[in-house]
Structure 1
Amino acid sequence: MMKRRTALALPLLALPGLARAQEWAPARSIRLVAPYAPGGGVDTAARLLAGPMAAFLGQTVVVENRGGAGGSIGAAEVARAAPDGHTVMVDALAHTVNPALMRGLPFDYAAAFTPISQILVWPQILIVHPSFPARDLAGFVAHVRARPGQLSYGSSGNATAAHLASALLLARAGLDMVHVPYRGGAPALQDLVAGNIAFVFGTVASSLQLAQEGRVRAIAVSSARRVPGLPEVPTVAEQGFEGYELNEWNGLYGPAGMAPAAVARWHGAVRHALADAAVRSRLDALGALPLGTAPAEFAAYVPAERARMAALVREAGVTIE
């Protein structure tokens, strides 16, 4: 009996040390890098979540905008940071698109980061001017197909989520249109409202009010399920394009080599922030869908999405202009 008790006690002796190893906590303020200019989706998400995450972690979280070169400048800064959990980054879909478009980067997107969690998804809406004759996707496709190369569409920029969502739809439907990249979503929407382009994929946050006011017409949404603000508007997949889905999304990353304990703690911070009532209310108003996926799930998703984006870039002939 004595030997049995001693044997049972050995694992218990290791528990305090094991618990300390698993309970990583930041020792100083934290840099949350947003590799884009203020005011966009990434910046909005970072600033919305920073407060609740700071409360969970017990340290100040400072959002730093490091914009430029499609997010790669800020990403390079995070890639160089120490993997001690004190520097992390909120990035967008571009994180999985840039490797297929950019050459000569000082880091490898596939190896330079530790995926922590896919935070949220921003569904996009295919919207047209009210004078556009189509009222559903079948009518849209028929109208465009009868006018090959004659109509143009806008996006928030070359190789952005709006551009890629459009390129994917055109490729799946076999349509020929002229792409007009703008310096952001706002000027693209302005030209759509003015009737200068045929359609735009806009985020729910930027397009919902325009659709509700009748200044644009919503044809389809890019997500796998309908959005609460426009429940009557079906998805692209529901309208004959099975499996279609291309949203803007935001994920949290650290530098490569982050300790599992730090990754787990940061995932807890994401989940805590997304459970905050004020955060959820704001995300609902913006049309964002909270996720907070587990690190292992996100780590599997990122390379799969990178491969999907590389195939789309090749298929649609997307280049950096």
Structure 2
Amino acid sequence: MTIDRRRFIQASAAALAAAAGAAPAFGQAPPETARIILGFAPGGTIDLTGRRVADKLQPSYAKAVVVENRTGAGGQIAAQAVRTAAPDGATVLLTPTSPMSLHLFTYKKLPYDPAADFTPVSGAAMFDYSLAVGPMVPSSVRSVQEFLAWCKANPNNANFGSAGQGSAAHFIGAALGRMSGTDLRHVAFRGSQPALADMIGGQLAAVVGPTGEFMSNVKAGKVRLLATSGPRRGRFTPDTPTMAEQGFKELAYIGWFGFFLPAQAPADVVQRLNGGIRQALASQDVVDSLATAYMEPLPTAPAQLAQMLKTETEFWSRLVKTLGFSPE
């Protein structure tokens, strides 16, 4: 995940957002209710993204658009629910990339085929991940290297949480442990917010998750950010050094969410949903809302999202092989 790729995503998103007002109109009557299904607990960044877009999709795309949180298996339960739904546009998947790319290499068998069982519609938002620590870790620990040294000196407390087994956040933390020769134990949660609660409560040393998940507690002094994952310092966190700056260039990574329909979704439904999502992501109130969660909108054409997913899969394939991870 390189700087060039980040610029490509940003430039493409800007161009498509500018064209969002020209979304095509279709004669098909909107369904009564559409569901946006996501695989993580309420209150996190993906939940915020889904609910803000859902508000904008009604009544033009559907008379009512609701968000359903189907938690578990790092997003796989939500993906499976959409895979088996009718391809009529009434059931939409909003997912981070890991269930559609990384899980191919960290699980022996998935209950779906990411390429064959879904129809790409549009990107949603992009963001950096962060490594954050809570009150269990002494306040003197201010860098990744100092955290790893503390973990080696306190092996019983050397742990980190993430939004789920096999998630990108899980893999970033696990890779950090392997690269540094530190035994970092992973604790899986059904979303970043439950992990954050345990960290603030002193039961967990650290959490890896989207940067926006931490910031209200960072401002309140309950949590400290040690590093972000982007190839350069984030737009919203210019004072926080990256993993790459601190010696872990292989972990330069930008996360994103995307919208998908079941396979065989009609082309006119895909286009209508894509147009609605692009219009939503171009709305200033949605842009501002995403910014409060330290995210940027990522509208794309369906074909562009398919290409991004292909590139993402290749990225994880190389990194998993380099680090010697075996499917579970």
TM range (shorter): 0.7 to 0.9
Larger radius of gyration: 1
Normalization by structure 1: what TM-score? 0.77
- The answer to whether the aligner puts 1:28 opposite 2:36 as a matched pair is no
C-alpha distance in 1, partners of 2:92/2:285?
23
Q: Which amino acid aligns with 2:35?
A: L
> Of 280, 287, 291, which aligns to 2:287?
280
Equivalent positions of 1:67-86 (< 5 A) are 67-86=71-90
What residue ranges of structure 2 are gaps of 5+ in the alignment?
1-23
Give the RMSD, CA atoms, in angstroms. 3.2
C-alpha distance in 2, partners of 1:96/1:213?
35
Q: 1:231 to 1:23 in 2, by over 3 A?
A: same
Q: 1:25 to 1:35 in 2, by over 3 A?
A: farther
Moved more, 257-266 or 290-299: 257-266
- The answer to whether the aligner puts 1:107 opposite 2:112 as a matched pair is yes
Provide the residue aligned with 1:127 in structure 2. Answer: 132
SS in 1 for 2:287: helix
C-alpha distance in 1, partners of 2:112/2:288?
37
Provide the residue aligned with 2:122 in structure 1. Answer: 117
Q: 1:316 to 1:187 in 2, by over 3 A?
A: farther
SS in 2 for 1:34: strand
Q: 1:206 to 1:38 in 2, by over 3 A?
A: closer
1:152–1:178 CA contact under 8 A, matched in 2:
yes
- The answer to whether the aligner puts 1:155 opposite 2:157 as a matched pair is no
Equivalent positions of 1:188-199 (< 5 A) are 188-199=195-206
Task: Give the superposition deviation at 1:155.
Answer: 1.2
> Of 234, 242, 251, which aligns to 1:235?
242
2:94–2:259 CA contact under 8 A, matched in 1:
yes
Aligned-residue identity in percent:
33
Q: Which amino acid aligns with 1:280?
A: V
Provide the residue aligned with 2:302 in structure 1. Answer: 295
Provide, for residues 92-131 of structure 1, a one-character-per-residue CA deviation record: whole Å limited to 9, x for no partner.
Answer: 2323233334556553222111112221124222122461
Q: Which amino acid aligns with 1:153?
A: N
Normalization by structure 2: what TM-score? 0.76
Provide, for residues 117-174 of structure 1, a one-character-per-residue CA deviation record: whole Å limited to 9, x for no partner.
Answer: 2211242221224615432334445x25854956512213322232122123233444
SS in 2 for 1:240: coil
Equivalent positions of 1:53-72 (< 5 A) are 53-54=57-58, 56-57=60-61, 59-72=63-76
2:151–2:157 CA contact under 8 A, matched in 1:
no
Provide the residue aligned with 2:46 in structure 1. Answer: 42
2:160–2:186 CA contact under 8 A, matched in 1:
yes
1:125–1:222 CA contact under 8 A, matched in 2:
yes
Q: 1:134 to 1:318 in 2, by over 3 A?
A: farther
C-alpha distance in 1, partners of 2:187/2:219?
25
Provide, for residues 171-209 of structure 1, a one-character-per-residue CA deviation record: whole Å limited to 9, x for no partner.
Answer: 344433222334543343344335554422133333112
Q: 1:132 to 1:26 in 2, by over 3 A?
A: farther
Q: 1:103 to 1:23 in 2, by over 3 A?
A: farther
C-alpha distance in 2, partners of 1:182/1:256?
29
- The answer to whether the aligner puts 1:88 opposite 2:92 as a matched pair is yes
Equivalent positions of 1:185-224 (< 5 A) are 185-224=192-231
Provide the residue aligned with 1:175 in structure 2. Answer: 182
